[in-house]
Amino acid sequence: MNARNRPKTSIWTKSRRTSRRMLALGLLMVLPAACASARPIKTAPPIATGSSLAGDYLAGRFAQSQKNLGVAVDFLEKALNKSPTAPNLLRRTFILLAMEGRIDEADAMARRVVGVKADAPIANLALVAGLIRGRRFGAAEKKLSHLPPGGINSYMGPLLRAWVSLAGGGNAAKALKILKPLGGKNGSKALYDIHAALILEQAGKEAAAEKRYLAAAEAQGGFSLRLAKLLGNLYERSGKTAKARKLYLKLKKQNPRSRVLDPDLARLDRGETPKPLVATPTDGAAESFFGVANSLRQQNVHNMGLIFGRLALSLRPRFPEAQILVAEILEESGRLGAANGVYSAIDPKSSFSWAARMRLALNLNKLGRTKKAIDLFRKLAAEYPARPEPLIRLGDIMRGHARFGEAITAYDGALSRIKTPTKRYWSLFYARGISLEQSKQWAPAEADLLKALELKP
């Protein structure tokens, strides 16, 4: 019962591998050594610190290898006090600050990085994000115009310049012209179509936006969840609710375990009209960072995926897809507490709140906070009386702690919420069967194990 029920956050879930590989390759060409993921050191002696530049630097590297990035930054900043213009030290400190989401400090460090290496790509993009946050669109456009071509800039440059142009008073035609180079690049057609659609929406050109969304789906071989939500949102606001429902149901059929579209379908049932998912040019810039972050994460470039996710959130703090992305990267790197901090910040009204709270509870148990995990799963089970998942996870926790009677009760409750058990629930019968066997209830245990075999021979 360890299968995860995560939402598919990627707008590129169905895109061609070429696009993701090119993005990853473009970034790898400009990454400093400081970005490399360090493997945890299992046995290492304590490092004497505070007496020298080397001592502080090594202590910072050790803390980073142990995934204690906050401590790593503290030591590296001490080292910087002794060698304030060391390029590699500046880059490493900037990278860690950005990964931690300490955006104001990262901005200050990015300025120092650019001071010693004017064309540093990630630092410059972070500074562009800061200028956009400050609504200094002219300054952002000027900085973008001076970035060297190639690498990650060949993607982020047109995206951010298009949105900055629109924010600074430019029209959609100008923004689309800036974006156009992406449409001719091998592997970036879907990226172009999605952002062209979003820009056309800003101009009120709904029919043209719909065509671009459909072109994006064709370019990436089908609808990803993100693309479906963007187009469905447009359909709802345009009064094409039947099209929206059809699209949501299609994606739900493709992703039967995901609950992300349930609020959208419920909203249609209530006859309510949603707000735009990307309402402003600043939101569009955040979408740019998010899309690239997600592509990098899928290529296992986790540190940079985390940085771009953090930059997306710096532009749009209440961006649930980006929050989920950042939390999942943190979780995958073993930083469960930090991941839970992001999960808990997701708006309870968001489509992603359910998935976030489920992950939060699972992580609480892994962190040894079992009572809080149990309480949260029980709360979720009460809030969503038709959904079996909280009770399944609750049963798993009880079984994992050898509380087999309570596990059986939880599994019984889960099965009572499932009208017709299908193949996907074979493991539920198996888990309850094991709990019954441990409770010496042989006959019902055998029946459950046989049912599990029946569902999944």
Give pLDDT, residue 139. Answer: 97
- 3-state DSSP of 372-396: HHHHHHHHHHHHCCCCCHHHHHHHH
Domains belonging to the chain, first-starting first, are 369-457 (1.25.40.10)
For the stretch 99-129, what's the b/e string if a residue is b when 16 or more beta carbons lie within 10 angstroms of its beta carbon? bbbbbebbbebbebbbeeeeebbbbbbbbbb
CA distances from residue 104 to 34, 110, 311 in whole angstroms, order as listed: 20, 10, 11
Give pLDDT, residue 35. Answer: 41
CA distances from residue 257 to 197, 297, 327 in whole angstroms, order as listed: 29, 22, 20
> Would you say 289 and 152 are in contact if contact means Cβ atoms under 8 Å apart?
no
How many Å apart are CA 455 and CA 435, to the nearest integer?
Answer: 19
Give pLDDT, residue 31. Answer: 43
Q: Count of CB atoms within 10 A of residue 374's CB?
A: 21
Q: At what angle do helices 389-400 and 404-416 cross, to 10 degrees?
A: 170
Q: Count of CB atoms within 10 A of residue 317's CB?
A: 11
Nearest 10 degrees: Cα torsion 159, 163, 168, 170: 90
How many Å apart are CA 172 and CA 163, to the nearest integer?
Answer: 9
pTM, two decimals, is: 0.87
Start-to-end CA distance of the chain, whole Å, equals: 17
Residue 289's Cβ-count burial label (10 Å; 0-12, 13-18, 19+) is: buried
The parts of the chain modelled with pLDDT lower than 70 are: 1-51, 60, 63-66, 186
Closest CA to 179 of 201, 158, 165: 158
Half-sphere exposure of 162 (CA within 13 A, CB side): 32
Kind and range of the H or E run holding 354: helix 353-366
CA distances from residue 233 to 59, 201, 247 in whole angstroms, order as listed: 49, 11, 10
Q: Tell me: the pLDDT tens digits for 264-299?
A: 999 999 999 999 999 999 999 999 999 999 989 988
> Would you say 199 and 179 are in contact if contact means Cβ atoms under 8 Å apart?
yes
Q: Positive or negative CA dihedral for 339, 342, 346, 351?
A: negative
How many Å apart are CA 90 and CA 113, to the nearest integer?
Answer: 6
